[in-house]
Structure 1
């Protein structure tokens, strides 16, 4: 491989699994890894013939895989329910059989936004127990099952990277109550999981981190505000703070920059954000900006006048 190709595709030859790549951050991470040349196994429950409980038919894992390939990598769609341990083990066995290695594991499994909306701002006794426990299954149990099955393959070679995708940084989530007790646990647990896994992986020369996007303009979020990626700024008329929102491309580039960094072990166990990593690695969002949503949120809560433009 030429130096030019190595520079353009620093992840050529790397094998990645993005668990939960149907839409949003997971899809963007998969595509950006593909842009960098990786072979990416993309998983999820929504396919062109089956829809998950999220109820969205417009995004599928097959489409994600096609986007990965179009970006310059190789996308492989494998329908997987990450709460079914046998399915996850079969997935990992397939990766092992076909590739013989796993270099990047991204746990982005979620699919619980509809449950958050139903329990937004409610106390524990006001949230339907089944809904609350389902959030923990989707955001915690699924991640544990996937790591348990995939880590043995990841640590076979030194240099592997495990990314826990969540909502919020350690500093923010440790001092703020996130919507309701179940959501709070579901989005704080991956931060602690990354910290714990960093200890498990370090002897094998591998790295574990948690990464959070800022205010993510996911497909669901855009639909909520009745805008598209082309005219998303129209939503700021109703909610000015939405001006600090970022596209999924941003967190995709954040994870890709981590994966391509030969010195990524320096981040082991840490809680990172897309805005923080953009400052470190110099990448931008799709529109050329560098939004820092968590910086904006903290500054606004501190009081005083805060200009969104200072955080883009």
Structure 2
């Protein structure tokens, strides 16, 4: 499909995981995609993983799309200002802004109360999850409102209802940083309404990101081998699943009805009738509440 042909997209933090897949799927459907992040083929971020923004653009090209990789630290206002200026010079507008900036997973110390959690790690997560997103909004939203119909997607972890409860073992700074996306989408939706633009928060489910696959010592092809040690991984989904969701949302002329809401990949699959790469349709968040957190044996029946 090329229903996004001519659209200009930016995926901030598009180095890996959900953001990378979103960039690829937007490109697959015709959008020109700017991919930003801190890890390039010559320079790594503090996350210290091998995935790069250039690799993401290569995947976009392999999918039949086009895009460009630009190294940007979204905590540096001058760098984000220059990014906005470049997009303005080259296209004069931005149709789709996906803010997936993060990189704080390695900063978490699980099951530690805030007074025992390393303060520098807590503050860094807040900076990555909130400050970077506000900086990005400040400089890029003026391009989104240039034309009616713009879309802003704030990536998060967990639905609004799931995150309405603070769960034992959660790292407080992580919880605050990720929960901020829900209220950010509400505020952005209000400020963008006069310009007929849409803002949502969006969460994948139990994501088979590159880091998660490495953590469980499996690959996308062998991920089911992890079920012996992590039975509830049975509800997991590929990054492509949420990527297809964002592409479908971006192509929906009626998407403004979702503005201010927090959406999830399983929900978008039901609305837009698409499947994951294996032909299944995972619905992770109801499963997490009704099966995993309820202490029931792992069984995805009825949830994928």
> With structure 2 as the length reference, what TM-score do the two structures score?
0.97
Q: For residue 13 of structure 1, what is the aligned residue in structure 2? A: 6
Match of 2:40 among 47, 68, 84: 47
Q: For residue 149 of structure 1, what is the aligned residue in structure 2? A: 139
Match of 1:264 among 246, 255, 264: 255
- Is the CA contact (8 Å cut-off) linking 2:18 and 2:239 kept in structure 1? yes
Gaps of 5+ in 1: 1-7
CA distance, structure 1, for counterparts of residue 222 and residue 62 of structure 2? 25
SS in 1 for 2:166: coil
CA distance, structure 2, for counterparts of residue 265 and residue 296 of structure 1? 28
CA distance, structure 2, for counterparts of residue 180 and residue 127 of structure 1? 8
1:134-158 deviation per Cα after TM superposition (whole angstroms, max 9, x unaligned): 0011111100000110000100100
Matched, 1:111 2:103: yes
Matches within 5 A, 1:296-307: 296-300=287-291, 301-302=293-294, 307=299
Q: For residue 38 of structure 1, what is the aligned residue in structure 2? A: 31
Gaps of 5+ in 2: none
The Cα shift of 1:73 comes to 1.7
- Is the CA contact (8 Å cut-off) linking 1:67 and 1:75 kept in structure 2? no
1:26-75 deviation per Cα after TM superposition (whole angstroms, max 9, x unaligned): 10000000111000000000000000000112x10011111112212211
1:183-230 deviation per Cα after TM superposition (whole angstroms, max 9, x unaligned): 110110011101110000010000000000000000000000000001
Query: RMSD of the alignment, in Å?
Result: 1.1
- Is the CA contact (8 Å cut-off) linking 1:17 and 1:102 kept in structure 2? yes
CA distance, structure 1, for counterparts of residue 246 and residue 207 of structure 2? 15
Q: For residue 184 of structure 1, what is the aligned residue in structure 2? A: 175
CA distance, structure 2, for counterparts of residue 267 and residue 164 of structure 1? 13
Q: For residue 290 of structure 1, what is the aligned residue in structure 2? A: 281
Q: For residue 83 of structure 1, what is the aligned residue in structure 2? A: 75
SS in 2 for 1:256: helix
C-alpha distance 130-305 of structure 1, shift in aligned 2 (>3 A): closer
Matched, 1:277 2:268: yes
CA distance, structure 2, for counterparts of residue 168 and residue 161 of structure 1? 20
Name the structure with the higher helix share. Answer: 1
Following TM superposition, the consecutive aligned residue runs of length 4 or more in structure 1 with deviations greater than 6 angstroms are: none
Match of 2:202 among 186, 206, 211: 211
**Matched length:** 302
CA distance, structure 2, for counterparts of residue 278 and residue 292 of structure 1? 9
SS in 2 for 1:310: coil
Matched, 1:63 2:40: no
Q: For residue 165 of structure 1, what is the aligned residue in structure 2? A: 155
CA distance, structure 2, for counterparts of residue 123 and residue 285 of structure 1? 37
